[in-house]
């Protein structure tokens, strides 16, 4: 068998494999998550996905949630904080809670701990950074995206989704716009819990789907709680001790435990604490050590 013959078969095979891979397989496994306040009753989310798949076929698209209360940057940031690190390095997180769309707020993309984040510069991406300085930040330049149209009301589809798709497809951050000073980023103001002697003061950040009140009181602020005993209060909600799990309480009983976000959670076994005790986002929570 001569070299020519091998080349006749071998070259095309390699090229065929490479070309096919370039078009789809190179990005197979590339993940883009979506987090918005768009809801699910319109096709806004679908349109963003269409734009991304048009640019970068083969992407894996994962919804975080689209039920952020309209224009609530804080809730968007908190959901991002809860979820981003569950994804593999290289994931692009597309976050669109954007009350300032069409204004001069910046459209940014940044890298942080091996992940990418794309969204408006209004603090919502700070949910992932939590005050830290990202590795790199750019302001997205629409010209680098060769977008056909950019509406004044839907940058999610026309600007952010294209940028996310380009990043997921392998384009570099620096290729999509000009460098931004990380210190100039808008930050989100998440209420902080603190300990004052034998009392920890905190706040309910989110009421979850089950009606649990997820607070900002980190587990480390409650060190010694099991041994010493604590009293937890939030309005009419009161309970004693830190439960190991929901199953540690009787049915219908109020309990406090460490949530899946590693913060204090107010719950009712087999019930909805928020409904029972009228818990609200922003309500004050106190933990009194015995």
In the region spanning residues 104 to 143, those forming contacts with a second copy, defined by CB under 8 A, are: none
Give least dist CB 141 to a second copy, A: 19
Q: Does 33 bind a second copy (CB under 8 A)?
A: yes
Among 8, 22, 60, 178, binds a second copy (CB under 8 A): 60
| DSSP symbols for 44-113 | HHHHHHHHHHHHSTT-EEEEEES-S-TT-HHHHHHHHHHHGGGSPTT-EEEEE--TTTTSSPPEEEEEET
Closer to a second copy by CB, 62 or 190: give it.
Answer: 62
Within 68-107, which residues bind a second copy (CB under 8 A)? 70-71, 79, 82-88, 91, 99-103
Distance CA(232)–CA(285), nearest Å, equals: 7
Report the DSSP pairing between strands 92-96 and 115-120: parallel
x/- mask, a second copy, residues 229-258, rule CB under 8 A, reads ---------------xxxxx--------xx
DSSP, collapsed to helix, strand or coil, labels residue 84 as: helix
What SS3 state is found at 271? Answer: strand
Is residue 53 within the footprint of a second copy (CB under 8 A)?
A: yes
Q: Are 198 and 253 in contact (CB under 8 A)?
A: no
Is residue 277 part of the contact set for a second copy (CB under 8 A)? no
**Residue among 44, 53, 34, 143 nearest 96 (CA):** 34
Residue closer to a second copy, measured from CB, 28 or 179: 28
Cβ-based nearer residue to a second copy, 10 or 194:
10
Say if CB 262 and CB 217 are below 8 A apart.
Answer: no
Q: Is 61 in the site for a second copy (CB under 8 A)?
A: yes
* 288 makes contact with a second copy (CB under 8 A): no
Q: Which of 22, 42, 189, 223 touches a second copy (CB under 8 A)?
A: 42
Applying CB under 8 A, the site for a second copy has a residue count of: 86
Angle of the 161-168 helix axis to the 44-55 helix axis, nearest 10: 40
Q: Which is nearer to a second copy, 17 or 132 (CB)?
A: 17
Closest alpha carbon to 145 in 219, 84, 47, 54: 54
Closer to a second copy by CB, 85 or 280: give it.
85
Nearer to a second copy, 180 or 255 (CB): 255
275 belongs to the binding site for a second copy (CB under 8 A)? no
Give buried/exposed letters for 250-289 (b at 16+ CB in 10 A, else e): eeeebbbbbbebebbbbbbbebbbbeebebebebebebeb
What is the smallest separation between the CB atom of 210 and a second copy, expressed in angstroms? 5
Closest CA to 113 of 97, 96, 130, 94: 130
Pairing of strands 92-96, 31-36: parallel
Among residues 24, 132, 179, 226, the one that binds a second copy under rule CB under 8 A = 24
Task: Considering the complex, state which of residue 234 and residue 258 has its C-beta at the smaller distance from a second copy.
Answer: 258
Interface residue with a second copy, options 143, 146, 183, 209 (CB under 8 A): 209
143 half-sphere exposure, CB direction, 13 A CA radius: 2
Distance (Å, whole) CA 55 – CA 145:
10
Q: According to CB under 8 A, which one of 8, 113, 153, 174 is a site residue for a second copy?
A: 153
Q: Which of 47, 111, 233, 288 binds a second copy (CB under 8 A)?
A: 47
Binders of a second copy in range 172-201 (CB under 8 A): none
């Amino acid at each position: 068998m001569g070299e020519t013959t091998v080349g006749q078969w071998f070259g095309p095979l390699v090229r065929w494999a490479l070309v096919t891979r370039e078009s789809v397989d190179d990005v197979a496994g590339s993940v883009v998550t979506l987090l918005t306040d768009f809801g699910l009753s319109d096709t806004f989310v679908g349109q963003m996905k269409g734009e991304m798949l048009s640019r970068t076929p083969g992407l894996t698209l994962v919804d975080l949630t689209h039920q952020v209360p309209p224009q609530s940057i804080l809730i968007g940031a908190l959901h991002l904080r809860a979820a981003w690190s569950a994804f593999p390095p290289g994931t692009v997180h597309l976050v669109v809670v954007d009350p300032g769309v069409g204004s001069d707020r910046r459209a940014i993309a940044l890298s942080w701990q091996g992940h990418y984040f794309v969204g408006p510069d209004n603090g919502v991406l700070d949910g992932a950074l939590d005050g830290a300085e990202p590795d790199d930040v750019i302001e997205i330049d629409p010209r680098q995206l060769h977008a056909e149209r950019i509406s004044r009301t839907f940058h999610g589809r026309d600007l952010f989704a294209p940028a996310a798709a380009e990043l997921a497809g392998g384009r570099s951050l620096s290729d999509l716009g000009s460098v931004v000073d990380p210190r100039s980023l808008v930050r989100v103001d998440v209420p902080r819990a603190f300990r004052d002697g034998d009392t920890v003061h905190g706040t309910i950040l989110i009421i979850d789907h089950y009606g649990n009140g997820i607070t900002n009181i980190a587990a480390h602020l409650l060190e010694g709680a099991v041994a010493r005993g604590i009293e937890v209060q939030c309005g009419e909600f009161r309970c004693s001790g830190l439960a190991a799990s929901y199953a540690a309480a009787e049915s219908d009983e109020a309990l406090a435990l460490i949530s899946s976000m590693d913060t204090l959670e107010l719950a009712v076994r087999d019930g909805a604490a928020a409904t029972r005790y009228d818990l609200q986002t922003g309500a004050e929570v106190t933990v009194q050590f015995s």
